[in-house]
Amino acid sequence: MRYLYRKLLTVIAIVLIASSGISGSAYAQSSAYNTNFITAITYQNISSTTANLTFTFYPSSGGTPISFNRTLNGNAGASLNVGTTTELSSFSGQGSAVISSDQPIVATVVQLPQSTTVRNRPLSNGFTNGSNNVLIATVLKNTFNQTTKFSIQNADTAPISVTLRFFSVGSSTPTYTETFSLNQGVARFFDAGTIAALGPNFNGSATIEATGKVVATAIEASTDSSYRVSAFEGVSQGSNTVYMPSALCNFGGSLQQTAYAVQNTSTTNNASVTVTYKNLSNTTVATQTATIPPNSKQSFLACNASGMPSNFNGSAVITSTGGSIVAIGKVIASPMVAPAFGTAFVGASGGAQKLAAPYVRWTQTRYDINPGNRQRAYLAIQNVGTGPSGTITVKYYDLNGVLVGTHTLSSLDPGQKTNSKPIDAMPAPGQTLDEFGYVGGFGGSAMIECANSGCQIVALVRIQSANSSTSTADQVAEDYNAIPVN
């Protein structure tokens, strides 16, 4: 997948944009599925030169787009809240957005729950450009107490026709197909819970085929009282190797475990898939295999792998023959300890020497004060190259582009992973990372780079919040992929 890093028109797919008028105050909800969200766009200038940006918002109803400008210092990371932005006072309901800039930028979309019971913030990345074919590796309807909502946005320069197909697990024949048109920049929104043709329950995936370029983003929300919600992007191209920087089995006090939804991108061939789990020493501890029919998906639960040790923290590599694949990673915790804990992220098909993380926060003193109000970011970094990575540096910048701290990590062997968080960094002179991203306004980002020539790394950013002021294990979290910048 290609993200927002070229000095070109950049497109952000946004699942649920709502002005503050849709819900003036937070309130209790019966489930995450019924919760309204207000969108914030965190955006990062990955150059050292001030960027001039234009935001254009498109109502899903097809009304008149709204455009306005912003500037952003070099290396800075800032946030735009749709509900409090003056230029968007008349914008409400659902919509999509396009950002254009004269400097390379990246962006991550943050959905802010308008609820006293849903504290997690779904995260998904924007796109540099779209594709004629996009895959959504997992779609649920009233399955595992989850239901999926997703949007498809026209990322082209003219109206296009789109065909959407849903495939249930194990089937190469679509359960439901719909064809529709989309104007430039506009998004259409789908709620699996309201599509009668999927039946009362559905567990599967979706494919999107268009006459022009499209992008897609999905939210998966619980329909019960667990209040779990997460988000991930549609993927435009499969590969025969997918990297997962996070692999867990009953890890930590909340007993976290990963599951991977793997979709076969081939329309004709079966995909023979192997998941290989490695510990922090880069030793293989377990494997899983399955055969996936064309267009279909298969789920792999780490704790079900033969020989998987308990309290496992490592990474995974997913390989396939016969058909290329895309994969979505998910992390859940024990429902007895952290019932609302649930994350989602896209498996990476390759790495880069330099990565950007637009949304990074750290609170040292206010984490469990007013739970959910301030977050902590944890970065999982994996070497996906064929040789040692060389020294890895993580540089943390504030909303003005000022370097606040640098974390220097030892070289990684191929397949190995390591971790970083803002509080681990060495502060720059006169700086502190105790409340990173909250000082002087909302905004903080990171740049991650490996030193060896040709090195390839991927990184997963977890944004975690306390869900209780008394139980330290009761937390919520969401993941997003750090974005390649070269």
Phi and psi (nearest 5°) for 472?
-65, -25
Residue 8: what pLDDT?
36
Map out the domains of the chain with their CATH numbers.
Answer: 1-129 (2.60.290.11), 351-486 (2.60.290.11)
Within 8 A by CB and 6+ apart from 336, the residues are none
Mean pLDDT of the chain: 91
Query: Which of 485, 484, 478, 483 lies closest to 219 in space, CA to CA?
Result: 478
Residue 27: what pLDDT?
55
Within 8 A by CB and 6+ apart from 216, the residues are 13, 134, 136, 150, 151, 152, 153, 208, 233, 234
Check whether 21 has a pLDDT greater than 70: no
Residue 16: what pLDDT?
44
Query: Which of 164, 304, 183 lies closest to 247 in space, CA to CA?
Result: 304
Residue 463: what pLDDT?
97
Check whether 17 has a pLDDT greater than 70: no
The sheet carrying 257-264 orders its strands as 297-301, 257-264, 325-332, 342-346
Confidence tier at 63 by pLDDT (50, 70, 90): confident
Per-residue pLDDT, averaged over 271-280, amounts to 96
DSSP state of 425: S
Per-residue pLDDT, averaged over 301-319, amounts to 95
Residue 5: what pLDDT?
31
Q: Is the pTM of this model over 0.85?
A: yes
Question: What is the number of residues in the chain?
Answer: 486
Query: Which of 368, 331, 339 lies closest to 465 in space, CA to CA?
Result: 368
Check whether 25 has a pLDDT greater than 50: no
CA distances to 74, 112, 123, 233, 430 from 40, rounded to whole Å, are 21, 7, 10, 16, 30
CA–CA distance, 444 with 79 (Å, rounded to integer): 9
Q: Kind of pairing, strands 342-346 and 426-427?
A: unpaired
Question: What token pair was written down for 183?
Answer: 């104007």
Confidence tier at 20 by pLDDT (50, 70, 90): very low
Give the pLDDT confidence of 216-243 residue by residue, as tens digits.
999 999 999 999 999 999 998 899 999 9
Residue 428: what pLDDT?
98
Give the pLDDT confidence of 149-194 residue by residue, as tens digits.
999 999 998 999 999 999 999 899 999 999 999 999 899 999 999 9
Residue 126: what pLDDT?
87
Question: What token pair was written down for 308?
Answer: 């998987």
Q: Kind of pairing, strands 457-466 and 444-450?
A: unpaired
Check whether 24 has a pLDDT greater than 80: no
Q: Taking a C-beta distance cutoff of 8 angstroms, is the pair 452, 460 a contact?
A: no
Strands (E), 302-455: 312-321, 325-332, 342-346, 354-357, 375-383, 392-398, 403-409, 417-420, 426-427, 444-450
